[in-house]
A = this chain, B = another copy of it.
Amino acid sequence: MDNRKIGVFDSGLGGLTAVKEIMNLFPNESIVYFGDTGRVPYGTRSKETIVKYTHDDINFLLSQDVKMIIIACGTASSAALPDIKGEYGVPIYGVVDAGAYEASRVTKNNKIGIIGTTATIKSGAYEKYIAEYNPDAQTFKKACPLFVPLVENGHFDTPVTKLVIEEYLKDIREAGVDTLILGCTHYPLLKKAIAEYMGDSVKLVSPGEEVAKFLRKKITPENAHSEVCDEDRYSYFVSDSVESFEELGSIFLETKINGKVNKIDIEKY
C-alpha cells in the first residue's frame, strides 16, 4: 500500500483526458496535476527546450510527494521520455508508450498511422515503441501543427477543420492504415471529423485514454492507494491564469474544479 499521489503533467489542459480515465479506473488514488499553461505549446519547440521543460515539470511533481509520474503530453513524452526514464527515483510513464502498445495490439493489417505535433513526429518515438511491441508493423506519419490551434479555438467540426484534415490525412488514408494514433491530447476533440474522413474501418487510438488502462499493469496491491479515500484527493497546478483553467478544466473533467487550482512559478523548479 502506498498512499502517495500519482503525478500527471501536460503542457496545458489536454492531459486532463488522462486524469479523467485514471479517476474512473482507480477511484481510490490521489492525483496531482500540473498544466504548464504559461509555456504551452511544447509541440513547436526544439528538443532541447522540451527536455528542459519536462525536467522542471517532473521536479515540481516530485515536490508534491508522488509515487509515480505520468507524462500526459504527447510532445514531452515523445521527445524526453526515452532519455529520462531511469533518471528519477519514481517510475515515469508516458502516453507515447501506452498509445504505441494499444495500436500495435489492435491493428490487423499492420499498417499504423501516427499523427502529432511537429516535435512528436520528428522524435520518432512512436515508431520506436511500435517496433518493440509489433515488429511487423509498418508506420505512416504526419505532423498536424494546425490541429491544436483549431481545437483551442473551438473549430471541432467546421468547414475549416475539414479542409485541414484532408490536407494532413490524405496520404495516410491512401496508404491504407487500419489504425491511427491521435498522438496529441488535443486531437480526440477532433475525433468525429477525423473518423468521418478516415472511414469506419479505421480504429482511432487516443493515447491519453490508453495510459490509464496501461496503469493496470503498473498499479499493484503493493503500490495502490488504501481504500480509505482522502477528501481532497485531487489537486491542480498551473503556470498561468487559474481562472481560465478552472473554466475549461471543469468542462474537460465534467466536474467542477473551481477553488482547487493553484498557480506556481514553474521556472523555480
Contact = CB atoms under 8 A, between A and B. Distances in A.
Interface residues of A, number: 25
A248 interface: no
A82 interface: no
A219 to B, nearest CB: 35
Contacts of A150: 146
Interface of A: 37-39, 44-46, 48-49, 145-146, 148-150, 152-153, 155, 159-160, 163-164, 167, 240-241, 244, 267
A160 B167 CA distance: 10
B159 A152 contact: no
A45 B38 contact: yes
A241 B49 contact: yes
Contacts of A241: 45-46, 48-49
Given A37-B45, A145-B153, 19 more contacts: A38-B39, A38-B45, A38-B49, A44-B152, A45-B241, A46-B240, A46-B241, A46-B244, A48-B241, A145-B149, A145-B152, A146-B150, A146-B153, A146-B155, A159-B163, A160-B160, A160-B164, A160-B167, A267-B267
29 contacts: A37-B45, A38-B39, A38-B45, A38-B49, A39-B39, A45-B240, A45-B241, A46-B240, A46-B241, A46-B244, A48-B240, A48-B241, A49-B240, A49-B241, A145-B149, A145-B152, A145-B153, A146-B149, A146-B150, A146-B153, A146-B155, A146-B160, A148-B149, A149-B149, A159-B163, A160-B160, A160-B163, A160-B167, A267-B267
Nearest to A148: B149
A145 B48 CA distance: 27
**In the complex, the 10 A-B pairs of residues with the closest C-beta atoms, listed nearest first:** A46-B241, A149-B149, A267-B267, A160-B163, A49-B240, A145-B153, A46-B240, A38-B49, A45-B240, A146-B153
Contacts of A267: 267
Contacts of A152: 44, 145
